[in-house]
Amino acid sequence: MRLELKEITKRFPGVLANDRISISVDRGEVLGLLGENGAGKTTLMNILSGIYRPDSGEILIGGTVRNFHDPHQAIDAGIGMVHQHFQLVPVFDVVESVALGAETVTGWLGTFGRAAARRRVVELSEQHGLDVDPDAKIEDLPVGVRQRVEILKALYRKSDILVLDEPSAVLTPAETLDLFKIIRGLTAGGTSVIFITHKLGEVLEVADRITVLRRGTVAGTVKPADTSREELATLMVGRDVELLVSKGAAKPAGVVLSVKDVLVMDDRLQMAVKGVSLEVRAGEIVAVAGVHGNGQTELVEAIVGLRTIDSGEIVIAGENVVHASPRRVADLGVAHIPEDRMRDGLIAGMTVEENYILDSYHRAPHSSHGWLHAREVAAAAEQGVRDFHIQTPSIGTIASSLSGGNQQKVVVAREFSRPVKLVVAAQPTRGLDVGSIEYIHTRLVEQRDAGAAILIVSTELDEVLAVADRIAVMFDGRIAGILEGASATREAVGILMGGGV
């Protein structure tokens, strides 16, 4: 079915979230909807799915104007949403999850017609190549399969317009490729797909047309064949963006971080790091690449003092840190940008200012004799906000109300606010928009050129290839290979990531 959104405007107090946005998607077409965080993608989709009502503008499906007062009407009109955060009940099985809310019931007791529902689930699953076990429990399924259950849910409700919101955010590269295959299968069957993302590579690969949103307006609509990553990034951000990090050749000096034959167990007491040796020298960026869950998290936690190692040796700036506390490690000049900033990097309920001093509150000039110095703390935080262009109403703003990019900048600003010898950055740009990614990468290269040793852990191939001087690929708790950054290719890294030789 052809879907058209015409001149949609939605205003929130103080924000014009959607300003006369028009998009359309034809039957069997994939429309890539590209935009940074805050560009208005989510608001637009909430209007399409009946959660918000537009201030003006209209929604046309198959040429007729539709007004949605609630999500049910949107579903009835054939619009299926697959949210970034899945809306599934962990203890339900696939059939129950899919049928929930659209189940057919029989008898005065309202018995769930499971057999019929199961038949349809199996049928849809086979027809679209989704390959989902109808009787598996949701909580036992990997993330990629859960996403397919969400797609099944939409299909079960006879959706012919499917909206996928940042679908690849939780997927491995291989799962993403599978998803693309499924999308192509769906469009071949006549389903229209709106694919929301901020990843340039994906949208170029999967979309038939791309509409770029910027600050609540349409910045342009292009065909993948006629455009490039650079052009898309420029449309998204509104200025020229350096996609490739500009950096000179590394000038490696002495070894700052030395990891030798390290074994580390994870929380389930399984061996996660199975004998890793790695050296990072001052003035170079080493990237640890790999699919998530191959021991990188545990390795990083061991280095920064959060996890005890079972054997081996970790030396930072000449000091053995195997039994050092996180604070001792930080005091050696280690900046740590944790993988999950909301869990480990920031205290969401505290202010920007308080987060800024989170690991230096106990030191002069921020405090003395156990008392905080409000004026010095405020001055330092103001400085950090200025230096790192953190967009926040004030330093007294609660961290959780900042955008993801600005939250990450708070973390980076804090970690770089003291003299740094070693930077350990885990997924430093996860979930960030192009502008923020560029900014963080530039800062990392700056630190390198100032003589720091940089260890980046990333699952994003683009990031690894863009910034690394050397690439260590981790697979199944071991280093599968080390490549020179300048000469490494996507294919070479990809093969090592999959454990191949």
Partner 1 sequence: MTIWRRTILPALMPLLAVFTAFVVGSAFLFITDIENLKHFPGDPLGTILAGLANIGKAYSAMVIGAFGVPAKVAAAMSSSDPKVIAGAIRPITETLVASSPLIFTGLAVAISFRTGVFNIGVEGQFILGAMGATVAVLVFRDVPKPLLLILAMVIGTLSGALWGFIPGFLKARTGAHEVITTIMLNYVAAQLVLFGLRSEFLKPVGSTLPISKVLSTIVRVPLIFALPAIRLHYGFVMALVMAVLVSWFIFRSTKGFELRAAGFNLMAARYAGINAGGSIMLAMALSGGLAGLGGTLEVLGTVGQMSNDLSSGFGFNAIALALLAGNRPGGVVAAALLFGALRTGGGLMQVKTGIPLDLLFFVQALVIMFVAAPALIRSIYRMKVQNADGVAAQ
Chain centre to alpha carbon of residue 327: 28
Nearer to partner 1, 101 or 396 (CB): 396
Nearer to partner 1, 317 or 347 (CB): 347
Least gap, CB of 69 to partner 1 (angstroms) = 20
Least gap, CB of 357 to partner 1 (angstroms) = 8
Residue 477 belongs to what H/E stretch? none
Least gap, CB of 316 to partner 1 (angstroms) = 15
Q: Site residues (CB under 8 A) for partner 1? A: 12-15, 17, 43, 304, 306, 325-328, 330, 336, 338, 343-350, 354, 357-359, 361-362, 367, 370-372, 374, 393-394, 396-398, 401
Least gap, CB of 451 to partner 1 (angstroms) = 24
Nearer to partner 1, 155 or 330 (CB): 330
* Rounded Cα–Cα distance for residues 151 and 345 (Å): 33
Nearer to partner 1, 355 or 447 (CB): 355
Is the C-alpha dihedral spanning 101, 104, 110, 114 positive or negative?
A: negative
Phi, psi of 337 (to 5 degrees): -105, 105
Least gap, CB of 175 to partner 1 (angstroms) = 27
Nearer to partner 1, 1 or 335 (CB): 335
Nearer to partner 1, 221 or 403 (CB): 403
DSSP states of 328-372: HHHHTTEEEE-S-IIIII--TTSBHHHHHTTTTTTSTTTEETTEE
Kindly provide the b/e burial profile for residues 281-313, where b requires at least 16 CB atoms within 10 angstroms of the residue's own CB: bbbbbbbbbbbeebbbbbbbbbbbbebebeebe
* Rounded Cα–Cα distance for residues 337 and 160 (Å): 42
Least gap, CB of 52 to partner 1 (angstroms) = 9
| Closest-CA residue to 172 (of 207, 210, 206, 145) | 145
Nearer to partner 1, 61 or 402 (CB): 402
Kindly provide the b/e burial profile for residues 61-73, where b requires at least 16 CB atoms within 10 angstroms of the residue's own CB: beeeebebeeeee
DSSP states of 165-203: ESGGGG--HHHHHHHHHHHHHHHHTT-EEEEEES-HHHH
Nearer to partner 1, 189 or 365 (CB): 365
**To 5 degrees, how large is the angle CA 219–CA 221–CA 223?**
145
Least gap, CB of 279 to partner 1 (angstroms) = 24
Least gap, CB of 372 to partner 1 (angstroms) = 5
Least gap, CB of 210 to partner 1 (angstroms) = 26
Query: CB of 203 within 8 A of CB of 32?
Result: yes
| Closest-CA residue to 334 (of 302, 373, 361, 368) | 302
Least gap, CB of 132 to partner 1 (angstroms) = 34
Nearer to partner 1, 122 or 350 (CB): 350
| Beta pairing, strands 192-197 & 30-35 | parallel
Nearer to partner 1, 345 or 481 (CB): 345
Is the C-alpha dihedral spanning 214, 220, 224, 228 positive or negative?
A: negative
| Closest-CA residue to 431 (of 118, 85, 60) | 85
Query: CB of 206 within 8 A of CB of 176?
Result: no
* Rounded Cα–Cα distance for residues 402 and 390 (Å): 9
Nearer to partner 1, 17 or 193 (CB): 17
3-state DSSP of 261-294: EEEEECCCCCEEEEEEEEEEECCCEEEEECCCCC
Least gap, CB of 276 to partner 1 (angstroms) = 21
- What separation, in Å, do the N-terminal and C-terminal C-alpha atoms of the chain show? 47
Nearer to partner 1, 220 or 326 (CB): 326
Least gap, CB of 369 to partner 1 (angstroms) = 9
Strands in 64-66's sheet, in edge-to-edge order, are 15-25, 3-12, 56-61, 64-66
